[in-house]
């Protein structure tokens, strides 16, 4: 919209300038004739002044439109940025909870909520004391909660109990729930063996062969981490050998290697590394927050509030896309301002021509003092026109440079 308004203003300025130039030429011709033409010369000069002033008013309006358009654009960008920041904060919070929970909840038992643990404890105590009514009531409540975030066997056993009679619920409390829990742990162990390294797979297989629920549970809690120690140590060492590894990641990796325990290496790779990557990317994003254009700065603000993936994606890829948008933005500003500056030069040339026409008309009327005054104005407008021409040239050069930078960002 700003571009179209500036273009219209420039066209209007050019039209008025042409009229002013025609009037100035006619005034100059008339000024050289006899006194009989003095009035006609004066009228033409006045028309030239009026047309030139309208042209300059159009340029002034174009400048105001351009200024308001930029302010509206930045206001819209700020509003969208604030909305995106709220979404990013939520994603960051969810990621932190997810990583910590995944590291903590290695067995079916550890995945139970405090509310669920309390219900199970109460129902088992009631069952042991012979209070079957209370046991069934608490058992049904616990079974409902187990329908969500539970293993396949545990969930199906809970569904069967809920669909059955009170005796089915009591049987579930007494044996079926624990059996299903053990089956889920065994299934998780088998799944771990299928996707892990040879050392972990062998440890998982050994645990499964015992058919001992306690041994399988111990594998999930500690054995898998212990079996992965050597592989994790190699992965951490490889990470440290990579020159692109950031400062925070390097510091956390060195601390894990110094500790040397299987738990420390595992925790670094599966929990702390994400936080360290986030810290390194945060430093890079903060730098862009200072050095980037308005769109890069807006994207950096959002990424800094977001999760590890969002920030990593911004540093690795999207910062270059937003840099291209910033360069396009700068190109557009320079191009529009160059057009306005050229329009200003045209209007100032028209004012100079009108002043010369008025000077000629004054001379035709033998008004030497007035002619001198118009001559002075003409010199001033000529100087303004020269300055506007230089401004237009500089803006055009800025636009060309910004366009080249945008192309480089797009290529990156």
3-class secondary-structure state, position 207 = helix
Domain membership of residue 86 as a residue range: 1-98+319-410
pLDDT at residue 358 greater than cutoff 60: yes
How far is Cα 64 from Cα 71, in angstroms, rounded to an integer? 11
Q: Return the pLDDT at 393.
A: 72
pLDDT at residue 34 greater than cutoff 50: no
How far is Cα 252 from Cα 258, in angstroms, rounded to an integer? 10
pLDDT tens for 41-50 read 777 778 877 8
Which pair of structure tokens corresponds to residue 138? 């608490």
In a domain, 41, yes or no: yes
68 vs 37, residue with greater confidence: 68
Is residue 132 within 8 A of residue 170, CB to CB? The reply is: yes
Which pair of structure tokens corresponds to residue 270? 């599966």
SS (H, E, C) 252-285: HHHHHHHHCCHHHHHHHHHHHHHHHHHHHHHHHH
How far is Cα 78 from Cα 294, in angstroms, rounded to an integer? 9
Q: Which of 20-29, 102-111, 391-400 shows the lowest per-residue confidence on average (mean pLDDT)?
A: 102-111
DSSP labels for 36-92? GGHHHHHHHHHHHHHHHHHHHHHHHHHHHHHHHHHHHHHHHHHHHHHHHHHHHHHHH
- Tell the residue number behind the tokens 């994400």, with chain if given: 274
In a domain, 250, yes or no: no
Q: What is the mean pLDDT of the chain?
A: 82
Which pair of structure tokens corresponds to residue 173? 């409390």
Instruction: Report the number of distinct structural domains present in the chain.
Output: 1
pLDDT at residue 200 greater than cutoff 60: yes
Which pair of structure tokens corresponds to residue 232? 């994790």
In a domain, 297, yes or no: no
What is the mean predicted confidence (pLDDT) over 383-395?
74
pLDDT tens for 329-349 read 888 888 888 888 888 888 778
Q: Return the pLDDT at 42.
A: 74
In a domain, 342, yes or no: yes
310 vs 51, residue with greater confidence: 310
How far is Cα 17 from Cα 388, in angstroms, rounded to an integer? 15
pLDDT at residue 33 greater than cutoff 60: no
Q: Phi, psi at residue 72, to the nearest 5°?
A: -65, -40
In a domain, 24, yes or no: yes
97 vs 85, residue with greater confidence: 85
In a domain, 1, yes or no: yes
How far is Cα 80 from Cα 28, in angstroms, rounded to an integer? 58
Q: 94-119 burial, b for 16+ CB within 10 Å, e for fewer?
A: ebbeebeeeeeebbbeebbeeebeeb
Q: Return the pLDDT at 153.
A: 92
How far is Cα 307 from Cα 88, in angstroms, rounded to an integer? 7
DSSP 130: T
Q: 155: buried, middle or exposed (CB in 10 Å: 19+, 13-18, 0-12)?
A: middle
In a domain, 258, yes or no: no
Q: Return the pLDDT at 207.
A: 94
pLDDT at residue 323 greater than cutoff 80: yes
pLDDT at residue 395 greater than cutoff 80: no
Which pair of structure tokens corresponds to residue 362? 């004054």
Confidence of residue 147 (pLDDT cuts 50, 70, 90): confident
Answer yes or no: pTM beyond 0.85: no
């Amino acid at each position: 919209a700003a571009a179209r308004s500036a273009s219209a203003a420039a066209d209007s300025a050019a039209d008025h300038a042409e009229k002013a130039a025609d009037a100035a030429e006619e005034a100059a011709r008339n000024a050289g004739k006899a006194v009989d033409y003095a009035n006609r010369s004066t009228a033409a000069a006045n028309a030239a002044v009026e047309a030139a002033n309208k042209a300059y008013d159009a340029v002034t309006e174009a400048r105001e439109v351009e200024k308001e358009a930029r302010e509206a654009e930045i206001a819209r960008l700020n509003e969208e940025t604030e909305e995106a920041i709220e979404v990013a904060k939520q994603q960051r919070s969810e990621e932190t909870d997810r990583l910590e929970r995944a590291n903590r909840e290695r067995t079916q038992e550890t995945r139970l909520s405090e509310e669920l643990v309390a219900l199970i404890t109460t129902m088992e105590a009631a069952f042991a004391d012979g209070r079957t009514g209370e046991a069934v009531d608490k058992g049904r409540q616990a079974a409902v909660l187990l329908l969500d975030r539970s293993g396949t066997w545990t969930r199906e056993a809970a569904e069967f109990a809920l669909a059955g009679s009170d005796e089915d619920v009591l049987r579930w409390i007494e044996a079926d729930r624990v059996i299903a829990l053990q089956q889920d742990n065994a299934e998780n162990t088998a799944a771990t063996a299928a996707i892990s390294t040879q050392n972990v797979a062998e440890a998982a297989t050994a645990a499964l062969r015992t058919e001992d629920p306690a041994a399988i549970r111990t594998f999930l809690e500690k054995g898998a981490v212990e079996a992965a120690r050597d592989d994790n140590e190699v992965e951490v060492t490889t990470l440290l050998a990579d020159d692109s590894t950031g400062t925070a990641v390097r510091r956390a990796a060195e601390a894990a290697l110094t500790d040397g325990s299987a738990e420390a290496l595992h925790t670094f790779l599966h929990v702390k590394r994400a936080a360290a990557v986030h810290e390194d990317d945060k430093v890079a994003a903060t730098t862009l927050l200072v050095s980037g254009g308005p769109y890069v700065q807006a994207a950096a603000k959002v990424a800094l509030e977001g999760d590890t993936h969002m920030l990593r994606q911004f540093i690795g890829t999207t910062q270059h896309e937003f840099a291209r948008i910033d360069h396009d933005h700068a190109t557009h500003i320079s191009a529009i301002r160059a057009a306005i500056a050229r329009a200003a030069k045209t209007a100032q040339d028209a004012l100079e021509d009108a002043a010369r026409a008025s000077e000629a008309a004054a001379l035709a009327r033998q008004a030497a003092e007035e002619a001198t005054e118009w001559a002075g104005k003409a010199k001033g407008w000529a100087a303004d026109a020269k300055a506007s021409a230089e401004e237009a040239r500089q803006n055009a050069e800025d636009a060309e440079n910004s366009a080249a930078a945008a192309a480089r960002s797009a290529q990156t």
